[in-house]
Amino acid sequence: MKANQAAFDAGQLAERMAQGYYAHSAAIAVATRPEAQALVPAKLPGMTVPLGFVRRIDGTEHAFDFKHFLRLAAASPEITNELPRVWLAGSLLAVGDALARQSYFDRAPELELLRHLRNGIAHGNRFDIRERQKLNKFPAHNRLAWIRGDNKSVFEITAALDGQPVLFDYLGAGDVLDLLMSVGLYLIRMGNGDPLRP
């Protein structure tokens, strides 16, 4: 039995989101290789192109030209530039929503940092700092985070960030992964009843 099952579950979600980004990055890297064309499925009988399928809620499938979209994943800057942002935005939304259901647990600075990033993503990829005075009561930064980049960069939410872009301007993909893994470790430790700081 966990000391805090909700914290443990949210921590595992944060770790899965970070791991999923690595899987996503690996899949995109493979898609950009010329050898990826060898992985295209065979044409089904009666079809003029190989098809890929996306399942609908009613069990039917949406079909697409697999070869064409594999090429777009490798060569269309409009698409390739968005692929990393889409996974990270979804991760911040998913983990932020899980934390919100628990009122952000103890509101540790890294949890608050994730909250502000999540809200910025939800507001058009721009920080939306409405209650500036709360930053004093609930600071949002990564100074105490378990994982930080090699240069130990500090990310702190201040009122001056209001309206500024979030992803790939304020912080990069690796910085988001550091935060997701730190949040995951922090919450898993909380869930297990372990000390929260080294």
Taking only the tens place, the pLDDT of each residue in 149-182 is 999 999 999 999 999 999 999 999 999 999 999 9
- Indicate the average pLDDT of the chain: 94
Domain count, the chain: 2
Are residues 43 and 113 located together in one domain of the fold? Answer: no
Q: Region 74-96: what's the mean pLDDT?
A: 90
Q: What is the dihedral of CA 182, 107, 169, 163, to 10 degrees?
A: 170
Are residues 66 and 131 located together in one domain of the fold? Answer: no
pLDDT beyond 90 at 77:
no
pLDDT beyond 80 at 31:
yes
pTM to 2 decimal places: 0.90
In a domain, 164, yes or no: yes
Find the domain containing 90 and state its range: 5-29+79-192
Quickly tell me which residue has 């004093």 as its tokens: 136
pLDDT beyond 90 at 82:
no
Residue 145: predicted pLDDT:
97
d(CA 140, CA 117): 10
Q: Which amino acid would we find at residue 105? A: F
Are residues 21 and 90 located together in one domain of the fold? Answer: yes
In a domain, 87, yes or no: yes
- Min mean pLDDT across 27-36, 88-97, 106-115 is at 27-36
In a domain, 21, yes or no: yes
Are residues 84 and 182 located together in one domain of the fold? Answer: yes
Residue 32: predicted pLDDT:
85
Q: Tell me the helix, strand and coil percentages in the chain, rounded to 5.
A: 55, 10, 40
Are residues 188 and 92 located together in one domain of the fold? Answer: yes
- Proportion of the chain above pLDDT 90, given as a percent: 83
Residue 79: predicted pLDDT:
86
In this prediction, residue 76 has a pLDDT band, given cuts at 50, 70 and 90, of confident
In a domain, 49, yes or no: yes
pLDDT beyond 90 at 198:
no
d(CA 169, CA 150): 19
Residue 44: predicted pLDDT:
95
For residue 74 the two structure tokens come to 């490798």
Taking only the tens place, the pLDDT of each residue in 96-114 is 999 999 999 999 999 999 9
Are residues 40 and 9 located together in one domain of the fold? Answer: no
Are residues 103 and 63 located together in one domain of the fold? Answer: no
